Amino acid sequence: MSMRTLPLLFLNLGGEMLYILDQRLRAQNIPGDKARKVMNDIISTMFNQKFMDELFKPQELYSKKALRTVYDRLAHASIMRLNQASMDKLYDLMTMAFKYQVLLCPRPKDVLLVTLNHLDAIKGLIQDSPTILHQVDKTFRQLTDIYGGLSAGEFQLIRQTLLIFFQDLHIRVSIFLKDKVQNSSGRFVLPVSGPVPWGTEVPGLIRTFNNKGKEVKRTEFKHGGSYVAAPKEGSLELYGDRVLKLGTNMYSVNRPVETHMSAASKNLASQTQESIVPNPLAKEELNLLARLIGGMEIQKPSGPEPGFRLNLFTTDEEEEQAALTRPEELSYEVINIQATQDQQTNQELVRIMGEFEITDQSRQSSSKGDDWLAMMDEL
């Protein structure tokens, strides 16, 4: 397991979350000023320097539940509210999109280019805020400084760590199904065409060498694909050409997106639920999670603003039906964090958590999510 995987996982999933929220804000005709505030608030919280400093410390990946808790907080860092069914769907879309991108990376190192594509697109979502742009650019420099010099072997370990994290997730997404890159079981279909990894040759030739290292024979074979050489290597510069298109915004064209659990995923989740054993590292993970969430600092609004509820489904009825039909064992439960060992740290965490609370007015405007938000406020 790589100790350098968490920042890449978090930033790419966060980028996918912002793509989806931006699309839904536009689809639901949310007023421009509110939409701008939501996007700016979430991006500002996501790229807060204290939060980034905690994120970039070498550490193991959190569990899926723990990571989900971070995104719950992040998605509610502004006046927008999501019900549990919509939050479930949001997280499903985020994870499956990034899983697809990791699978399709020609080289393990290309996961860094995917991350930079997300950061490039996030900067395009920021409106009228040079301060937030500076935050994103600073994170960009942190990424290139830390990951730019890693070896191919280290990136391979990062890629393996990501794939282990995603290996049991087989959620069907309508966009992927329509584009025939995902089959009915929720597994992705890998292409046998396109550019080969940078620095490699198109398959089709076997070279045989003797014991002195001299080439003595060449044999051609049919590879069954349609491959081409990579035109150039993607740039790690601030405004460079990434070449790779993975990680760009696939929601830029307004398309309805649905998610469905495959039968295999449901069975696997049920078996996992039944075979849960106490994790001796759980307490340590919660301590780390508390510290990470503690870095999510946002400024309290100067005055009360009416909140609004965002629906990831086409209608409220679809959202309610999804909440009823989703198996209980597949719902992401809230993790309660207790940091009682260090009173000062606990008080600081309580203070920061308080900044995430919404005003009474916004609570009244999002009554459907009250029960779930109350659970979240127990963190």
The low-confidence residues of the chain, meaning pLDDT below 70, are: 253-291, 293-306, 326-379
Cα 333 to Cα 324: distance, rounded to the nearest angstrom: 15
d(CA 198, CA 230): 5
Decide if 220 contacts 254 (C-beta within 8 A): no
* Cβ–Cβ < 8 Å for 176, 259: no
H or E stretch covering 100: helix 84-104
Residue 180: which region, alpha, beta or left (left: phi > 0; alpha: psi -120 to 50)?
A: left
Number of neighbouring beta carbons within 10 Å of residue 311 = 18
Sign of the dihedral defined by the CA atoms of residues 343, 357, 7, 3, in that order: positive
Residue owning tokens 């191919």: 152
pLDDT at 300: 52
- Report the 10 Å Cβ neighbour count for 49: 13
Other CB atoms within a 10 A radius of the CB of residue 277 amount to 5
Contact call for residues 112 and 143 (beta carbons, < 8 A): yes
Domain ranges, ordered by start, for the chain: 5-191+238-252+307-356
pLDDT for 261 equals 58
Torsion of CA 255, 261, 264, 268, to 10 degrees: 130
Angstrom distance (rounded) from CA 377 to CA 219: 66
Q: What is the pLDDT of residue 338?
A: 43
Q: Which residues of 50-63 are buried (b: 16+ CB within 10 A; e: fewer)?
A: ebbebbbeebebbb
Residue 159 tokens, joined: 């890629």
In 3-state terms, what secondary structure has residue 226?
A: strand
The predicted-structure confidence for 67-84, as pLDDT tens digits, reads as follows 898 999 899 999 999 998
CA 144 to chain centre: 19
CA–CA dist 303, 298 (Å, integer): 14
**Short-list 367, 321, 335, CA closest to 86:** 321
Supply the DSSP symbol for 368: G
Say whether pTM exceeds 0.85.
no
